[in-house]
Amino acid sequence: MAITTNSELNTAVANWLSRSDLTSRIPEFIALFEAKFNRDMRVPQQERRNESFSVNAEYVSVPTDFLELRAMFITSSGTRYPINQMPPSQESEFYSSGTGVPRFVSVSGHTTADGTMAFRFAPPPDGTYTATIVYYAKLPALNSTTQTTNWLLTSHPDAYLYGSLLEASIFIGDDPRIPMWKAAYDMAMGSLNRSASRSRWSSTGLAVRPM
């Protein structure tokens, strides 16, 4: 059976578990795998680019699918220059007061009661600037209605299957199949990492030069 949609993945996990009593739990196992993937993986398929990000205050909320910043550039008024990343403690040290064109940025951590992450700019902007940001984004979480598939399920369904089975193993306890699932999962993730590395570096034109 092909595994190309959320429904097919749920069916496959149920088939591999051979447990009819876990149907309602399978979406939890899938969600736990997605959370683990977001913590552990950084591959080119996760990269997103926003060319109209507004920098208009010292603290600006990160995109809702944000995981990690790769690069940021001010692009207002036809100019283009980088906003360099800096640890929050060092940022406060350099710019404790005043405003201007932002030159540094950090991810400030939780700044509101609901745990929203924010970019902190130094110096705080003296107006509104347009920026391009490149960042790693969360894996789009599967569901049965609005997100029935995503890039990982399309390209590496085995990673989704074995990752979800491993999360299920914590719930079901001792099972002789767990080592097999773990080996298959490690192989799938290794393949994903190798594929990501090739896609990022295969076109760089690197060559060995004679001395």
DSSP 152-199: HHHH-HHHHHHHHHHHHHHHH---TTHHHHHHHHHHHHHHHHHHHHHH
pLDDT in tens, 156-170: 999 999 999 999 999
The crossing angle, in degrees rounded to 10, of helices 26-40 and 157-172 is 120
pLDDT in tens, 104-159: 999 987 656 667 889 999 899 999 999 999 999 999 999 999 999 999 999 999 99
HSE-CB of 209 using CA atoms within 13 angstroms: 3
Asked if 9 and 153 touch (Cβ cutoff 8 Å), the reply is yes
pLDDT in tens, 65-115: 999 999 999 998 777 899 999 887 776 676 667 898 999 999 987 656 667
pTM: 0.86
Asked if 68 and 175 touch (Cβ cutoff 8 Å), the reply is no
